[in-house]
Amino acid sequence: MAAKKATSPKILSDAALSRISVRFRALSEPVRLRLLNCLMLEDHNVTQLVKLSGTGQANVSKHLAILRDAGMIHMRRDGLSTICSIADSSIHQLYTIMCDHLKSEHAELGKALK
């Protein structure tokens, strides 16, 4: 399957490339992807995310801070709870792109194995 070219390639500044690399690093950890996946369905407090992710409180808090610092999620206080939500709609777009690509890859592999 040939890769599609971007419609308008641009030379990016070092500052832009640095910001992009922060985002991609944030997406490179399966626990963070799991947390984002949960938050795409609905907002959750940290306690709920601990249960949904199957990892400990300290680990979830560390990963949420990375996602927040990358600008991907919002965290707000609500009484004693911290509520997390998706801050950037491009997260949904990235998931859709990757899922569509994986489906296509899987279908092509299935055809090749028949």
What Å distances lie between residue 91 and 27, 41, 51, CA to CA? Answer: 10, 12, 22
pLDDT at 1 over 80: no
- Give the mean pLDDT of 64-78: 97
Q: Which of 80, 87, 79 is nearest to 43 (CA)?
A: 87
pLDDT in tens, 2-30: 555 556 778 999 999 999 999 999 999 99
Q: How many CA atoms lie within 13 A of 41 on its CB side?
A: 10
User: Is residue 31 helix, strand or coil?
Assistant: helix
- Give the mean pLDDT of 50-78: 97
Tell me the one-letter amino acid at 16. Answer: A
Q: How confident is the model at residue 35 (pLDDT cuts 50, 70, 90)?
A: very high
Percent of the chain with pLDDT over 70: 94
pLDDT at 77 over 90: yes
